[in-house]
Chain A
Amino acid sequence: MVEEKRILYEHLDVPDINTFDVFRQYDGYKGFEKAIAEYQPEEIAKMVLDSGLKGRGGAGFSTGEKWSFVPRDIEPRYLCCNADESEPGTFSNRYVLEKNPHLLIEGILICCYAMGIETTYVYIRGEFTLGKKMLDAAIKEAYEQGYLGEDIRGTGLNVNIYTHPGAGAYICGEETGLIESLEGKRGQPRNKPPFPAVEGVFRKPTVVQNVETLCNLPFIVSNGVEWYTQMGPTYADTRFDPPKPDANTGTKLYCISGDVNEPGVYELELGLTCTELIEVAGGLRGEEVKAVIPGGSSAPILTHYELDTRLDFTSLTLAKSMLGSGGIIVMNETRNIVDCLLNIMKFYAHESCGQCTPCRWGTPWVRDIVQRIADGNGRQSTITRPKFGIAENGRWGDTGETEEIYEDLDLLESVANNIANVDTMTWNTICVFGIAVSWPAVSYMRKFRPEFEAAIRESKLVTLPVAEATVPPEENYAYQQRFVPKEFADL
């Protein structure tokens, strides 16, 4: 039986840990104190790079590497903490804010020290009223105790934190949408490049970091890089010569919801499998696992064939999905995938910022097609199209054969792929919201095509038994791995 590994959440349940005094009793701010006492800022940045810490907000980009892009000669620089947690199925940041806000402040202080930043904005999801209240109170205490403000603890370090509530838009979680919103504009993502590290808040270099990412920093500093890198798998990416280490270090706050007996946030080492995770969360509620969403609603779905996939950044990327925000939604045999997709597409159609053409008008279109199928109005007509599979050259591609497909399923796939193409991983949109739409749309449809076909054929939603509903991996392009897995070996 796998155990929880509580690091960030270790003291979460201690009464009054949200107050400065109790937080101090549990070694609060010791990581920060160690940082300023023993290390130069550059050393901290180096430690973070060496720790292999990857961003927990969704993109999974190496934090240390991101810091290295920030030009140090441009003043001022900003830190922007992304606390706009709105990905469906994700609720780990919220607990930190509501229960242990001083931990976030400590993380912010370490980042500010390492990057020479004096101003931090915490962009909090508007609905997190309690979280904002708790954080504001903690910030006030930290000012009183001299851990924020001018000349912190006599070191000459100045750090100010400002909290800013969002107004309820999912897209303001996208880092540049967040920055626009923070600047008082419409929450619309910017064209990149320039990336925020170079031109962010008020067109100045900005580090944007998720709450959870920042909360890792005190522990990396306190316990050292070696301790940190022991947690989680590190792979060797053999596409590089010499093989490049591909770190999935540390723990992750997995938010497990859906058909499990004990849903909630579980802090676990990276690299556990789906099955293990369901086990940790009290086991499956129901007979069989039908599907698992591994990283928030944007992530491509996993079928029961893929339950031994390890839930870390690399493994999920290899499985053509993503760890994303770590929001894991488990579905049992009673769930209808068409209905699930409809639910998710309603969310995205509502949340598209509307800035760029494909997403603005493509996302509601996808929703409407799924709605039509779910309502029993899917078109029965079929079309013949080239069949993809293992081609003559042994790679995935056009097999030269053709297949019959319901016209509406072809339309659904084509419209979704026109927003962002999941096969070539190219998109014509401004931000990756586009791919967050087409990923679920295409993966659900491809992996659970029998259920979509049944809905069209029978003019109503039909929930098929798991075995019947799922397309086996050998037969479906959607499973195909983007990189051949044996190129990656355990280090």
Chain B
Amino acid sequence: MAFVKLNDLEIEVEDGTNVVEAARQHGIEVPHYCYHPGLSRPANCRMCLVEPHEFFPPAGAIVPARQLATGCTTVLRTAPPERKLDGKYDSIVYTDSPRVKKAREDILEFLLVHHPLDCPVCDQAGECDLQDYSYRHGHDKSRYLEVKNVPPKKDLGPDVLLYSTRCVVCTRCIRFAEEVSGTGELGLINRGSHDEIDIPRSHEGVPLQVLDNKLAGNVVDICPVGALISKDFLFKSRPWFMEKADSVCSGCSVGCNITVEYKADGVYRLKPRFHEDINQHWMCDDGRLGYHYVNSDDRLQLPLKRVDDELSPTHWADAIATITEKLSEVEAEDIVVIGSAQGTNEDNYVLQQFAHDVLKTTQLGLFGQSPGEEHKFPQFTIEADKNPNTAGARTILGSANGNVVLEGDALWEKVSNAKVVYLVSGASERTLEDAEKAALESVDFLIVQDVLPSEVTQVADIVLPGTTFAEKDGTFTNSTGWVQRIRKTIDPPGEARIDWEITQQLAKQLGGEMNYHFAGEIALAIAENVPGYADATHQKIGDAGIKLT
């Protein structure tokens, strides 16, 4: 640990921390553009200037260094005893001295000379580092009288637009494409004040390569200004009108930490949230843009019941009654209950409790999205398992005495011999392979709980409208054993209900003694009953998640 005097504070920081981070840890802002903790440090924006002491001062003296230093590359370390300043400090740094303040003003003035200041129509306004720093550290008026550069707006790829006029040439986007995605589509063209970010083009300006990789959306997040813009989000909403909730991406088994930004009428965007061991600062575009199904007009809003070979809407009481009647008609061994790797641990726990305690069946199955492809990047991997909770669902469904959790062919064989199947899916746009379809069609009475019409709901005898990750609280367990929380953002559409609540109601109808009120309560039961999950209460999981041991 280095003992550092930072302004008036005496702080301890880990050796190797840079001044920007050390200050951030103590609530002090050192404005910066080019520095991003997940990327290399070119120190080109010069925004983070701080005033260090002289490293080799004349005996005993503490003198400010002649030159200001960039806080992003000034690293704090323990000094040998004879080099301690004032007998105790390893380093002395000022982030608020008059020289620093003046330098910040100057740099901000330069950053704004060619800037269009089109905040009123800029998507970034409200979450823009240029706005914020100018407001906090800048001049109140411009001394620039000359003509501004107006570089063109560019279409960089399927989801990313570049408003070149707003670019501060911090090169974060270029470094991301080089270091994290390794795809290198971005670069600088021209020189000096005519620097522009661009993709490779022929002399005629025809793109030779576009910014089209599965991590491309991250460049929009890391762009400190409104230069890189997501086409998906463009002009949809002002950032300050959206609510935010910490959650986990449901796109694959990596379990990227995300923030869901939403309004009453739907989810507006997903952004990655830092988690050191899982996704660092990033998420993939499949996850990022994969939320659209949540807002879909086709969402199941009412229970559906097959009447004269057609699924037609009914009301909940009828749906529940029909199901309980069917279930009570058959023997336990003729029932198969299938949980979902799309569902939360809580959903699956209630489901297995229903199967084990109420239906007295130990025949369980695990369903979910069909596997996709794995994509490896230098600093990121998108996993092939397209479900967020395969690991959790598998463990929890199988947690009660004697439960068998079948998957794949074994499951479908079991299903073809069953009379009643209760299948919880939640996998939007899930298609069925021939064997799966044949198996499900052979079932006398198929109950499907899902969020959107799909090939799965088509073969059902009754369809129950469930909820997506955005509409419920709960936990997911990722492929590396991290249990993390998702949070309810918007209300479920129409009469759709939270999955475990539906299951619990069925259980109650059949005389089960289940009475959970909220997901956290189920998590307590999981902690008590599922091996390995002792610490997986919502309280302990918090924002950082916990890793199963």
Contacts and interface: CB of A to CB of B under 8 A. Distances in A.
A349 B107 contact: no
A355 B190 CA distance: 11
A368 B146 CA distance: 7
A357 interface: yes
Contacts of A356: 44-46
A191 B188 CA distance: 18
Contacts, number: 87
Interface string A332-356: 0000000000000000011111111
A398 to B, nearest CB: 15
Interface in A405-429: 411, 415, 418, 424-429
Given A358-B107, A361-B114, 16 more contacts: A169-B191, A349-B192, A352-B191, A352-B193, A354-B169, A354-B192, A356-B46, A357-B47, A358-B110, A361-B110, A361-B193, A362-B110, A365-B110, A372-B145, A428-B103, A429-B46
B193 A427 contact: no
A353 B111 contact: no
Contacts of B169: 354, 357, 360
Contacts of B106: 358, 418, 428
B194 interface: yes
B111 A364 contact: no
9 contacts: A191-B70, A353-B191, A355-B42, A357-B45, A357-B107, A358-B106, A360-B110, A368-B146, A426-B67
Interface in B157-212: 168-169, 188, 190-195
A281 interface: no
A363 interface: yes
A72 interface: no
A186 interface: yes
A360 B44 CA distance: 10
B261 interface: no
Interface residues of B, number: 34
Contacts of A372: 145-146
Given A358-B107, A372-B146, A428-B106, A353 B44 contact: no
Nearest 7 interchain pairs by C-beta: A368-B146, A352-B192, A354-B195, A418-B106, A354-B192, A361-B110, A364-B193
B314 interface: no
B68 interface: yes
Interface in B7-58: 42-47, 49
A430 interface: yes
B193 A360 contact: yes
Contacts of A349: 192-193
A365 B47 CA distance: 19
B114 A411 contact: no
Interface in B93-151: 103, 106-107, 109-111, 113-114, 143-147
B480 to A, nearest CB: 34
Contacts of B47: 357
Contacts of A358: 46, 106-107, 110
B479 interface: no
Contacts of B517: none
Instruction: Kindly name the residue among B67, B145, B192 whose own CB sees the greatest number of chain A CB atoms within 10 A.
Output: B192
A428 B68 contact: yes
Contacts of B168: 357
A350 to B, nearest CB: 7
A361 B188 contact: no
B148 to A, nearest CB: 10
A358 B70 CA distance: 13
A426 B194 CA distance: 26
A186 B192 contact: no
A53 interface: no
B107 A428 contact: yes
Nearest to A358: B110
Contacts of B192: 349-354, 360, 363-364
B213 interface: no
B44 A430 contact: yes
